[in-house]
Amino acid sequence: MKKKLMFIATICLVFILGIVHFVFASESWTDAKRYNIRKGEDWKTAAADWQKMGANKTTDQNIYEVYTIGKTMWSSPVVRLVNSENYPVSNEIQTAPSGRIKKGRTNTAQIGHAYYLSIKPGWNQASENGSIKLQMKNY
C-alpha cells in the first residue's frame, strides 16, 4: 500500500512541476534581437539577422512589454505587435530608454497564436542610421 501511495505522490509531483515550468516559461523574455533603423523607413519585422522576434500569447491579459537593452540613437523607435500577415494586433508604443521596459496595453491577439514585433523609426530620428537591441514578452 505504501509503494502505491508513493507512486501516486510521485506522479502528482511530476505533474505539478510540469505545470509550474510551463507557467514560468510562458512569461519569459524572448531572445534579444538587434534592429537596424534607417530614417524614413516604414514598418518592418526583420531584425539585423533577418529573423523575426516573436512570442505566443499565453494569457487573456491585454499587455505586452518591450525591454530596451541598448540603442545607438537619441530618438526612440516605435513598436507594435503584428500577426504572421503583418496585420497590427496592438497599439503603438515608443521604445523606452536603454535599460527600461515599456508596456503596450491594447493587445488584441488571440491566446496560443504567435505574434511578432514590428518597428519603425521615431518621428524625431535625426541621424540617417541607428540600431536598437530589444526583448519582448507577450502575455
**How far is residue 90's CA from residue 63's CA, in Å, rounded to a whole number?**
9
For the chain, the structural domain boundaries read: 1-29, 31-138
The model scores a pTM over 0.85: no
How is domain 31-138 classified at the architecture level of CATH? Sandwich (2.60)
The per-residue pLDDT for 26 is: 47
Q: What percent of the chain has pLDDT over 70?
A: 81
Indicate if the pLDDT at residue 109 is higher than 60: yes
Return the HEC string of the chain. CHHHHHHHHHHHHHHHHHHHHHHHHHCCCCCCEEEEEECCCCCECECCCCCECEEECCCCCCCEEEEEEEECCCCCCEEEEECCCCCECCCCEECCCCCEEEEECCCCCCCCCEEEEEEECCCCCCCCEEEEEEEEEEC
The per-residue pLDDT for 9 is: 58
The per-residue pLDDT for 25 is: 45
Q: What percent of the chain has pLDDT over 90?
A: 67
pLDDT digits (tens, 9 = 90+) for 12-57: 555 554 454 444 444 689 999 999 999 999 999 999 999 999 999 9
The per-residue pLDDT for 126 is: 77
The per-residue pLDDT for 52 is: 95
